[in-house]
Amino acid sequence: MKHCTAIAAIVLIAAPLGAEEKQAVLAPGEIVAAAPKADWAAIAASDLLVMELAADAKSKPRRVVIQLMPAPFSAGWIRNIRKLAAAQWWDGTSVNRVQDNYVVQWGDASEKKALPSGLEVVPESSYVANLASPVPCPVDVTDPGMCVGTSEYLLSNPIEPDRYAASGFTNGWPLGTNGSDMWPVHCYGMVGVGRDMPPNTGTGAELYTVIGHAPRHLDRNIALVGRVIEGIEHLSSLPRGTGALGFYETADERVPIRSMRIASEMETDKPLPKFEYLSTESASFAAYADARANRRDAFFIRPAGGADICNIPVPVRRAE
Amino acid sequence: MKHCTAIAAIVLIAAPLGAEEKQAVLAPGEIVAAAPKADWAAIAASDLLVMELAADAKSKPRRVVIQLMPAPFSAGWIRNIRKLAAAQWWDGTSVNRVQDNYVVQWGDASEKKALPSGLEVVPESSYVANLASPVPCPVDVTDPGMCVGTSEYLLSNPIEPDRYAASGFTNGWPLGTNGSDMWPVHCYGMVGVGRDMPPNTGTGAELYTVIGHAPRHLDRNIALVGRVIEGIEHLSSLPRGTGALGFYETADERVPIRSMRIASEMETDKPLPKFEYLSTESASFAAYADARANRRDAFFIRPAGGADICNIPVPVRRAE
């Protein structure tokens, strides 16, 4: 067991425009496109959860690719999700809820399907990662940079708070912190664990993703386990449910889930594409985040001077 | 010509929970449902822009209702929009762009349809309302409370800034301010005026609405003219465009617009429903906004202690 200490945070402070900076008029997308290959970090296939929905009305396949979070965030639920995928538990379940400007949710509509044995009951303390003590990396992690441990770097780099918390990015993920804890934040496309009233009742079998304005009030009240990195349009463009909370009222409306698998465990003739994210510790990301906060490209006449963390989506792309 | 001076602002500050407050465990929706009728303000039919899309694949009608902003915000563009609606200019145009987590945009896909005469060229200074001098109400406004004039009330009620600006609500609208100007902010469902590079090139003929996380970097860079108050699902659930910026690549993908009219000018056997919004100057709204920032209902174990302005959507409903 080893301790990991890699934390980095991006300081997002509006800087006045100097003469040199005025020449840096690249749009955020152009900065990303120009980022050197070394600034991109590979996403392991073992961290990808692939959901295949039933084909759409035009017989087109609908695949949604989810990247799971690294330890120490939500590790218990993610272990459960790996077990559920290995047990092919989601096959034959469905998308059951689509609430406009909020979430799409999927799982077993009957709420009666037996769960595989060995799932953990994860306590609410796991909604956050405590920074006071280093957190051990799971033994199966090959890249220690994927683990988060101490608060030293973070605390020496204070981040401008928004209305919810101080926030920034570590290892490609948007995180909030109060100085003693860190936690993932509910940005568009983040994937979380549905639960009942008691905060330890979410197993990971019932999942949702955000399809609207960031519902940050859910931060620290529900577990986030990953984010959709490809195919979110197959969820966000579904018809909205007309029942309470956007649940579909009839079985016909539900969208069948054919399968949900960890990419490295998929049996397929055609290998899944590889994905990579723009390292949030790279100079390219710093420039991108600054450009998101201070648009200087031609269309913009008044740079905002700031950006909330969910308005700085971490770039993810298919690797060549 | 009269001067209007009604401004109110909601102070959204996290308050520590006292013993009494702990008993106030209503969810935001419950507070809204319990609001007395006197806390609701009617929306004039002359401020509603009604878009009828072609029926969907199941022959169901698709109606989108937009509330136009009151003076002094974006008044020139809104005058243009009233002329375009009276000229039935949008009939036969289409929804041309659906970009995930960003906007849906509609207008004339050919960009060649002749505009009605008499449209104004509105200068970029109109992206904001200057607070230094009172702004005259338009002569056709019957409710002076619908106009915004001086900054006195606002400045005596400082609002917690977010990463973009100080912000709050006035007469039902989410607004940002820097102390000298006020402007509408790009929350989910807000409707804006597409333009080319020069900031005075938007007429109001090309419109968009936000269907994702609030793109606040657009504030003060583009004109906002209203918000969708009913039927946004007919736009937000459309298939995403596969062209650059989410534009549809073929004419077949575009969604035809049958008509777009000001509600009070519609010729219809069945009168349009009336709408009302929860007055942002009411005690009910203050309680609702506080509850959005500090969820104390049973599901929540950690109230956020704050909320960004776009996470406090102004309640709008059909009037009885």
pLDDT tens sequence across B248-269? 999 999 999 999 999 999 987 7
> What is the nearest CA distance from A199 to chain B, expressed in angstroms?
8
Write down the pLDDT at residue B302. 94
Nearest to B72 by CA among B179, B159, B144, B120: B144
Residue B22 reports pLDDT greater than 50: no
Q: Could you say which of B100, B124, B189 has the minimum Cβ distance to residue A301?
A: B124
Residue A250 reports pLDDT greater than 80: yes
Write down the pLDDT at residue B318. 98
* Contact criterion met (CB below 8 Å) for A166 and A22: no
> What is the nearest CA distance from A104 to chain B, expressed in angstroms?
12
Write down the pLDDT at residue B20. 45
Write down the pLDDT at residue A228. 98
B163 confidence band (pLDDT: 50, 70, 90): confident
> What is the nearest CA distance from B50 to chain A, expressed in angstroms?
20
Q: Could you say which of B162, B189, B215 has the minimum Cβ distance to residue A162?
A: B162
CA–CA dist A235, B237 (Å, integer): 9
Q: What is the distance between the terminal CA atoms of chain A, rounded to a whole angstrom?
A: 34
Q: What are the φ/ψ torsions at residue B37 (nearest 5 degrees)? A: -55, -35
Q: What is the DSSP letter of B105?
A: E
Chain B residues whose CB is inside 8 A of the A214 CB are: 213, 311
Residue B39 reports pLDDT greater than 80: yes
Write down the pLDDT at residue A72. 84
Which value, in Å, is the radius of gyration of the alpha carbons in chain B? 20
Residue B13 reports pLDDT greater than 80: no
Backbone CA torsion sign across A142, A148, A153, A158: positive
* Contact criterion met (CB below 8 Å) for B312 and A220: no
Least confident of A58-67, B158-167, B248-257: B158-167
Tell me: the pLDDT tens digits for A119-137? 999 999 999 988 775 555 5
What is the identity of the amino acid at A159? Answer: I
ipTM of the predicted structure?
0.89
Tell me: the pLDDT tens digits for A196-241? 999 999 999 999 999 999 999 999 999 999 999 999 999 999 999 9
Write down the pLDDT at residue A171. 84
Q: Could you say which of A187, A232, A304 has the minimum Cβ distance to residue B164?
A: A304
Which one has a higher pLDDT value, B21 or A94? A94
Over residues B290-300, mean pLDDT = 91
Over residues B30-35, mean pLDDT = 97
Chain B residues whose CB is inside 8 A of the A221 CB are: 295, 299-302
pTM as predicted: 0.89
Which one has a higher pLDDT value, B15 or B272? B272
B178 confidence band (pLDDT: 50, 70, 90): confident
What is the identity of the amino acid at A72? Answer: P
Chain A CA closest to residue B194? A299
CB contact under 8 A, A237 and B232: no
Residue A17 reports pLDDT greater than 70: no
Size of interface A-B (CB pairs under 8 A): 136
Tell me: the pLDDT tens digits for B134-161? 555 544 444 444 444 444 334 333 456 7
Write down the pLDDT at residue A271. 79
What is the identity of the amino acid at A145? Answer: G
CA angle, residues A40, A44, A48, in degrees to nearest 5: 115
CB contact under 8 A, A163 and B306: yes
CA–CA dist B60, A31 (Å, integer): 44
The mean pLDDT of chain B is 86
Over residues A45-56, mean pLDDT = 97
Over residues A254-264, mean pLDDT = 97
Which one has a higher pLDDT value, B297 or A119? A119
* Structure-token pair, residue A155: 């605390």
Chain A residues whose CB is inside 8 A of the B233 CB are: 100, 239-240
- For A83-140, give the DSSP string: HHHHTTTTTT-EEEEE-TTSEEEEE-TTS-SPPPTT-----GGGGSEESSS--BPPTT
CB contact under 8 A, B212 and A216: no
CB contact under 8 A, A292 and B217: yes
Residue A306 reports pLDDT greater than 90: no
Q: Could you say which of A127, A213, A301 has the minimum Cβ distance to residue B187?
A: A213
* Contact criterion met (CB below 8 Å) for B82 and B89: no
Write down the pLDDT at residue B180. 84
Write down the pLDDT at residue B268. 77
